[in-house]
């Protein structure tokens, strides 16, 4: 898995942190304020979109009067307390990050979330000294499945795409990694368990947990 790898790039929600459950709840609450119900296809439709692209999608699809920036600000306000107090790291991911750093593999984050919520997670988990590049999809031209976000992080890290490995929890994120010419690793997440077969088909590797990735290092050291 890690042969010829010089950088590891992580998605955030559902990959580094256990937070995907939260966004469905926020979507339900937000649409409820507009007397709308959550459509069954919504989560699939917005999968991989940047924070701004998602807000624009909501505005267009649901005829929201507020502008995109106001929609984003309301979502940030709704989610901030959860991110500070109720969103944990994915199990064993911290151990993997330490192992990657120990093996001189550069670390980056490429996320579809907002800068505000990313900042909360960075500060809460003391990630500032672990990740050398943190980028959101709002900083590039197109969100996932386009490769822009991961290519930008690789550029920041000074690593060629073919020497990068990407950890993701959703199909469009894995497609973005593949489209960037990077090695892709799907991580299990409860929210996307109904997509497991699709994730396995797209990804170069599939992990039930980060303990599985740690096993690769154990075999290398023997």
Q: What's the pLDDT tens digit per position in 16-42? A: 999 999 988 999 999 999 999 999 999
Residue of 159 and 129 predicted with greater confidence: 159
Q: Which residues pair with 206 in a beta bridge?
A: 186
Residue 132 has pLDDT above 80, yes or no: yes
- Report the phi/psi class of residue 125: left, alpha or beta, with left for phi > 0 and alpha for psi in -120 to 50: alpha
Confidence check: pLDDT of 215 > 60: yes
Tell me what percent of the residues of the chain surpass a pLDDT of 70. Answer: 97
DSSP state of 89: B
- Which of 62-71, 153-162, 174-183, 212-221 is predicted with the least confidence, judged by mean pLDDT? 212-221
pTM of the model: 0.91
Alpha carbon separation from 37 to 24, 25, 71 (Å, rounded): 12, 12, 17
Mean pLDDT along residues 77-82: 94
Question: Residue 210 has which token pair?
Answer: 């980060």
Lay out the sheet containing 106-111: strands in order across: 133-136, 106-111, 7-10, 164-168, 183-187, 205-207
The dihedrals phi and psi of 221, each to the nearest 5 degrees, come to -75, -15
């Amino acid at each position: 898995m890690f042969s010829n790898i010089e950088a590891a790039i992580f998605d955030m929600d559902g990959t580094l942190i256990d937070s995907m459950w939260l966004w469905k709840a926020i979507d339900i609450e937000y649409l409820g304020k507009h007397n709308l119900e959550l459509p069954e296809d919504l989560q699939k439709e917005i999968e991989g979109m940047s924070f701004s692209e998602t807000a624009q999608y909501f505005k267009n699809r649901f005829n929201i009067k507020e502008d995109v920036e106001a929609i984003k600000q309301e979502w940030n306000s709704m989610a901030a307390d959860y991110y500070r107090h109720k969103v944990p790291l994915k199990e064993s991911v911290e151990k993997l990050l330490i192992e990657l750093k120990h093996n001189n593999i550069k670390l980056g984050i490429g996320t579809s979330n907002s800068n505000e919520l990313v900042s909360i997670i960075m500060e809460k988990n003391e990630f500032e000294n672990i990740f050398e590049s943190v980028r959101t999809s709002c900083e590039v031209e197109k969100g996932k499945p386009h490769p822009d976000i991961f290519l930008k992080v690789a550029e920041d890290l000074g690593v060629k795409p073919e020497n990068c490995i990407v950890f993701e929890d959703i199909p469009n994120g894995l497609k973005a990694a593949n489209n960037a010419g990077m090695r892709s690793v799907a991580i299990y997440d409860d929210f996307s368990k109904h997509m497991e077969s699709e994730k396995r088909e797209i990804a170069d590797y599939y992990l039930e947990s980060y303990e599985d990735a740690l096993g690769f290092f154990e075999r290398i050291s023997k």
